[in-house]
Amino acid sequence: MAITLASGAETAAINAAANAVAVLVDAGSTAGHIRLTLANGTTEVATCIGEDPFFGSATAGVCTQNGDAIDPDATGNAAAVTLFQLRDSDNATVLSGTVAESGGDLNIDDGDTDGDVIIEPNAVVTLSGITLEFSIA
Amino acid sequence: MRAVGKIRMKFTGRGTVKNPDGTERKIVLQGEQLVTEKEARKYGYHPGERS
């Protein structure tokens, strides 16, 4: 038999879930970041450092990024970026996903259609308007 | 009131890559994960049991 949630309880639950994940990004002593890597998950291509705290508090299950996360001088790599990690400043991963030209979790149009995402050395990478949302489907 | 079926997590946003030659490329974040009741059981979710 399925349980049911009252609407007020549902809002409280999704806000609690979103806040619980968002606060993990701030667990280190300084600001959290989003790191773009090669397929091995360890070779860093760009690290976009956010504000501290990274997200604001949840409203209706949505935490919204504070300001921007920026890498003003990317390491870059001739090989394709295929992964990203959202991490705290102690490098603990909170959330991870794929990077692609399209169809990935994080999509970058790098100007060609060869399917690979190449970020050049010294590029400026900016991420903004990031939302972390929990809902009951 | 509604049944708790699945929990959806979405990670969205936007951005830019500005190359040294001045060209600029767009970034779109659109990650989503739907956790079913079966998957949630792995993490201790037990519907219908008395606590």
Average pLDDT of the residues in A61-77? 98
The reply to whether B48 touches chain A by the CB within 8 Å rule is: yes
Q: How distant is the alpha carbon of residue A87 from its chain centre?
A: 8
Answer whether residue B1 shows pLDDT above 80. Answer: no
Beta-carbon separation of B17 and A127 below 8 A: no
By Cβ distance, the residue of A86, A97, A111 closest to B25 is: A111
> What is the predicted ipTM?
0.89
- The residues near A77 (Cβ < 8 Å, ≥ 6 apart) are A38, A43, A45, A118, A119, A121
pLDDT at A113 (0 to 100): 74
- Average pLDDT of chain A to the nearest whole number: 94
Q: What percent of chain B has pLDDT over 90?
A: 49
Report, as an integer, the average pLDDT of A97-108.
94
Task: Average the pLDDT over B29-50 and give the result.
Answer: 65
Task: Please indicate whether, in this complex, the C-beta atoms of B9 and A134 are within 8 angstroms of each other.
Answer: yes
Contacts of A134 in chain B (CB under 8 A): 7-9
Whether residue B8 and residue A110 make contact (CB cut-off 8 A), yes or no, is no
Which segment of A88-92, A116-120, B25-29, B41-45 scores lowest on mean pLDDT? B41-45
pLDDT band at residue B9 using 50, 70 and 90 as cut-offs? very high
Sign of CA dihedral A96, A40, A35, A105: negative
Q: Tell me which chain B residue has its CA closest to the CA of residue A99.
A: B29
- Nearest 5°: CA angle at A77, between A34 and A130? 20
| Cα–Cα distance for residue pair B22/B45, rounded to 1 Å | 51
For residues B28 and A105, what is the distance between their CA atoms, to the nearest angstrom? 8
Average pLDDT over every residue of A78-101: 96
By C-alpha distance, the chain B residue nearest A76 is B19
